[in-house]
Each structure stands twice: as C-alpha cells, then as structure tokens.
Amino acid sequence: MSLDGTYDEGNIFAKILRGEMPSAKVFEDDHVFAFMDVFPQSKGHTLVIPKHSRARNLLEEEPQVLSHLILGVQRVARAVRAALQPDGIVITQFNGAPAGQTVYHLHIHIIPRWEGVPMGRHASGGMADPKELAALAEQIAAKIS
C-alpha cells in the first residue's frame, strides 16, 4: 500500500481497539492504547496507537491526536525503561509499504535495546509466546506513572 488510500476498519489494530482481537495491553487512557508487539524485534517491543483516529499514517493525522500520541509514547517508553532497564530505546514509525509499514492504523514502535544484542527483523520474526507477552505487559504497566 502506498501513502494514499482509505482507512480500512477491518485492520488488525482497529479490531484490537474494538475488542474483537486479543492483545497484551500495557496502558490505555482516553487518547491512546499501548500493547505488546506479537512479532517483537526485542524483548519489550511495545506499540502505541491513537484510539480515536482513522489515520493510516503520520501524514494523515490531526495535530491534536498527534500531541496525545507522542505524550503517550513518552509515558510508555519511560515505563519500558523502568521495567526492563534497557541501554537504549528505538522509537520508530513507518509510512507506506515501501517504508516497511504493514498495518494501516497509525502506530509508534517502542523497541528497547541492550548493548551487544542485535535487533530482530521488522514484522518478520517469530511470534512471541502470549504468556511471555502478558508477563512483560504487566511488568511495564506496573511502572506507568
């Protein structure tokens, strides 16, 4: 999919938001929802999405929604740091298939990194154990402030 197109209400993140698909939830407020990536590029790979949005990518999003989104990302990234003590954290976001985007509901990746531990490939590694994801989500959620 290119940068242009229409929002698909059947995309996987819209289904998660509607409760039609399970997720390992980390955090939620009026504006954002955070949950574990099921194909994590590192331990603790978390996604943050706007709850009230039909933007497929960053370019389509309303400024007000973006403001809440980035504040949510900062809050969750701080919790990831407190919970998992990484050496660094990658914050990333893809727009359009040629850029690597695979799900077309705006989302931001929080990927903790440790010295000497290579980052997994984007959206193509193995699926994580749901129990492990649930445990990580709980650990991170406990550090949300």
Q: What is the x/- site pattern for ligand AMP, positions 24-43, by CB under 6 A?
A: -------------xxx----
Q: Measure the N-to-C terminal CA separation of the chain; round to a whole number of Å.
A: 37
Residue 14 makes contact with ligand AMP by CB under 6 A? no
Size of the site for ligand AMP (CB under 6 A): 13
Of the candidates 45, 107, 109, 122, the residue annotated as catalytic is: 107
Is 46 in contact with 76 (CB distance < 8 Å)? yes
Q: What is the x/- site pattern for ligand AMP, positions 75-104, by CB under 6 A?
A: -------------------x-----xxxx-
The sign one gets for the Cα dihedral 56, 60, 62, 67 is: positive
Residue 1 makes contact with ligand AMP by CB under 6 A? no
Of the candidates 139, 124, 144, which has an alpha carbon nearest to the alpha carbon of residue 38? 124
Question: Tokens standing for 117?
Answer: 């531990």
- In the sheet that holds 108-113, the strands lie side by side as 25-28, 32-36, 46-50, 108-113, 88-92
User: How near is the Cβ of 44 to ligand AMP at its closest, in Å?
Assistant: 13
Q: Is 52 among the catalytic positions?
A: no
Query: What residues are labeled active site?
Result: 107
Residues binding ligand AMP (CB under 6 A)? 12, 21, 23, 37-39, 47, 94, 100-103, 123
